[in-house]
Amino acid sequence: MTRHALILADIEGIIGIHQKAQCTPGRTEWKEARHLITKDVNAAAQGLLLAGYKSITVCDMHGTGFNLLPEKLIPEARCDQGHHWRPVPLIGTLPEAECAMMIGWHAAPDQEGFSPHIFQKTLRKLCINDDPITEVELFSAVLGEHGIPVPFVSAEDVACERIQSHMPWIHRFDVPKRPMDNSEIQTLRSRLTEEVQHAASHNGMPPLVWKSHDVTATLQAETRSWTSPSATDTFRRLLADTALGFAPDAAIPLLLFILRTRCRMEEWARKARG
């Protein structure tokens, strides 16, 4: 079987990102930041290739899922942009993969950091079995239910510290959140390739699996607690209650389809303009 890996990419923890405008779709700064996230994903993909992987699926996880520049990804990396609701929320159908690399992630809303959040600002804190987590642990537990381990994360230091406290085996790559010149960015990106290669070459840890667990979600106006049978169930409920809370549950798949279609049309127009 051809060795296959996943990359789940967010934008706030990308090398060179240090202003919120860079993370806001449509802004001039974001249009420039699209090149930064694409270059970080390529750097991580190169590390996977050096570790012996032959193909890579990239999941663009920020906003509506249209941040990367797919035409600038290396040939071995494939990115199907836009979010789906099933079978896995946001991701859709997961390919068979031996591991997943988390590139460009951020702190949780109860932490001090650059643009700390979980999905949407209404969610102020998320605890699993009374322990606060970030988005990375939640995504890792969802992937774990499909037998996919997460051996690597790049994010700012405060996020990495929490992630590593729950996943002590993970290889962390701390990304400074400050202005950097091109030379420093390139040096860090070269290190990113090397460290992804190392993590992928020594990937022997089991997937993160929560099984049944207690969830406490602190929102702006209330705190909700429940027992969840799976990470995927927790993930879907949190998304429906926060980032997609304005839409009835039955309408969410259609809403995501409309968003994908609109964003694809915008991308076609961008490419047509050259």
Q: What is the pLDDT of residues 141-159, one digit of tens each?
A: 999 999 999 999 999 999 9
| Percentage of the residues of the chain whose pLDDT score is greater than 70 | 99
Q: Is residue 12 part of a domain?
A: yes
User: Could you report how far apart the first and last alpha carbons of the chain are, in Å?
Assistant: 38
- How many residues are recorded in the chain? 274
Residue 147 lies in a domain: yes
Find the CATH number of the domain harbouring 141: 3.40.50.10780
pLDDT of amino acid 247: 75
| CA 122 to chain CA mean position, Å | 19
Domain-embedded: residue 106:
yes
Amino acid at 32: E
d(CA 109, CA 85): 24
| Residue 58 within any structural domain of the chain | yes
Q: Is residue 224 part of a domain?
A: no
**pLDDT value of position 77:** 96
Q: Is the pLDDT of residue 44 over 90?
A: yes
| Domain assignment of residue 243, yes or no | no
Q: At 25, list the tokens.
A: 């779709």
d(CA 93, CA 87): 6
Q: What pLDDT band is residue 214 in, cutting at 50, 70 and 90?
A: very high
Query: Does residue 112 belong to any structural domain of this protein?
Result: yes
* pTM score, whole prediction: 0.94
Contact 200, 152 (CB under 8 A): yes
Give me the domain span that covers residue 176.
4-118+134-208
**pLDDT reading at 271 higher than 90:** no
Q: pLDDT tier at 2 (50, 70, 90 boundaries)? A: low
Residue 121 has pLDDT above 90, yes or no: no
| Total number of domains constituting the chain | 1
What sign does the dihedral 11-103-83-272 (CA atoms) show? positive
- Structural domain contains residue 146: yes
Task: Tell me how far the alpha carbon of residue 52 is from its chain's centroid.
Answer: 23
pLDDT digit string (tens) for 47-92?
A: 999 999 999 999 999 999 999 999 999 999 999 899 999 999 999 9
Interacting residues of 131 by C-beta distance below 8 A, sequence separation 6+: 166
